[in-house]
């Protein structure tokens, strides 16, 4: 995604214990980053997670501050398997 409002963190997932904030079972892997970005903005989520190359999408971070989310990212950065990543929306 070439959106300047996003930061991408490879091999990183956060807030794993609750699935997603909007759709706990995730969104289909066939959705694009752009579609997920639109949904995230619509629902007020600041994190988009892709659960691997063939994994589902999750929206997270609703109601959390950017500072809190950045701290969570720094704590979990690089701790997920290859292909998992999250996008932080500013």
pLDDT in tens, 25-42: 899 999 999 999 999 999
Average confidence (pLDDT) over 49-57: 94
Which of 62, 18, 24, 13 shows the shortest CA–CA distance to 42? Answer: 62
Helices (H) and strands (E) in the chain, counts: 2, 4
- DSSP-assigned letter for residue 52: S
- Collapse the DSSP code of 62 into the 3-class scheme (helix H, G, I; strand E, B; otherwise coil) and give the result: coil
- Collapse the DSSP code of 6 into the 3-class scheme (helix H, G, I; strand E, B; otherwise coil) and give the result: strand
CB atoms within 10 A of CB 87: 22
User: How does pLDDT run across 4-29, given as a tens digit for each residue?
Assistant: 678 999 999 998 766 677 888 899 99
């Amino acid at each position: 995604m070439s959106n300047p409002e996003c930061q991408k963190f490879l091999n990183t997932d956060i807030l794993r214990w609750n699935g997603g904030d909007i759709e706990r079972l995730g969104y289909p892997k066939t959705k694009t980053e752009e579609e997920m970005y639109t949904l995230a903005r619509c629902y007020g989520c600041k994190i988009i997670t892709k659960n691997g190359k063939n994994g589902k999408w999750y929206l997270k971070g609703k109601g959390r501050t950017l500072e809190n989310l950045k701290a969570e990212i720094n704590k979990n950065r690089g701790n997920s398997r290859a292909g998992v990543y999250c996008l932080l929306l500013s």
